């Protein structure tokens, strides 16, 4: 009995797992420019990708390179692209920070005084190509932080240290 080529190709395609990167939106990278004048880091929105085939976690900012300011001048927005291989990761840590919403409670509605704002952070410490140690801090959205942590652990093959602040 001969199996037609189309059926054979379909059977092979169904048995081979599809390997692709998991991408997550709602991730911000805390970017600090090489400028010594800039004290506070900027939040760059972007996409975090966990690729288990290459064992890398990468971030690509979604900001355009040029933006127009209020007065029509063009300014360059920072662009960040980071790729961290599993072999270069030294440690990974997750932290949840919370703080009361005093300003929103006073300005908007008093019941907000009794609630807390929660922020989720993922920190990756890794060694660069030159052997120097670097770190990357990502702020995660509350809708995707659990999935990002699970995908990062699976991709890098390490356990993420978890610290929760109340």
Question: 39 or 47: which carries more pLDDT confidence?
Answer: 47
- Beta strands 89-100 and 161-164 are parallel
Average pLDDT over the chain, rounded to an integer: 80
Query: Of 44, 2, 19, which is closest to residue 136 (Cα–Cα)?
Result: 44
CB 27 within 8 A of CB 140: yes
Question: 2 or 37: which carries more pLDDT confidence?
Answer: 37
pLDDT (0 to 100) of residue 92: 96
Q: Is the pLDDT of residue 34 over 90?
A: no
Burial class (CB in 10 A: 0-12, 13-18, 19+), 44: buried
Query: Of 155, 157, 160, which is closest to residue 121 (Cα–Cα)?
Result: 160
Mean pLDDT, residues 69-81? 67
pLDDT single digits (tens) 97-139: 887 767 766 777 777 677 777 899 999 999 988 889 999 999 9
Lowest mean pLDDT among 10-24, 34-48, 70-84: 10-24
pLDDT (0 to 100) of residue 165: 60
DSSP label of 119: E
pLDDT single digits (tens) 134-165: 999 999 999 999 999 999 999 999 999 998 66
Taking the domain 20-164, which CATH number applies? 2.30.29.30
pLDDT (0 to 100) of residue 17: 45
- What residue segments make up the domains of the chain, in order of their start? 20-164
Question: 41 or 71: which carries more pLDDT confidence?
Answer: 41
Q: Please, what is the Cα angle at 16 between 11 and 20, to 5 degrees?
A: 135
Q: Which of 39-48, 63-72, 106-115 has the highest mean pLDDT?
A: 39-48
Q: Is the pLDDT of residue 9 over 90?
A: no
Record the tokens describing residue 4, joined without a space.
Answer: 């037609």
Q: Is the pLDDT of residue 87 over 90?
A: yes
Query: Of 17, 29, 82, which is closest to residue 56 (Cα–Cα)?
Result: 82
Mean pLDDT, residues 31-40? 69
């Amino acid at each position: 009995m001969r199996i037609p080529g189309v059926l054979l190709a379909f059977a092979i395609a169904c048995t081979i797992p599809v390997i692709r990167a998991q991408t997550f939106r709602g991730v911000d990278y805390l970017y600090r420019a090489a400028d010594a004048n800039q004290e506070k880091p900027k939040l760059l929105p972007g996409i975090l990708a966990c690729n288990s085939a290459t064992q890398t976690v990468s971030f690509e900012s979604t900001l355009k390179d040029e933006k127009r300011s209020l007065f029509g001048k063009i300014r360059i927005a920072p662009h960040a692209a980071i790729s961290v291989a599993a072999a270069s990761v030294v440690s990974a840590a997750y932290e949840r920070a919370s703080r009361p919403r005093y300003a929103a409670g006073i300005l908007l509605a008093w019941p907000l005084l009794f609630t807390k704002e929660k922020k989720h952070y993922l920190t990756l410490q890794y060694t660069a190509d030159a052997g120097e140690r670097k770190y990357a801090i990502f702020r995660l959205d509350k809708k995707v932080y659990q999935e990002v942590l699970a995908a990062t652990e699976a991709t890098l093959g390490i356990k993420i240290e978890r610290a929760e602040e109340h």
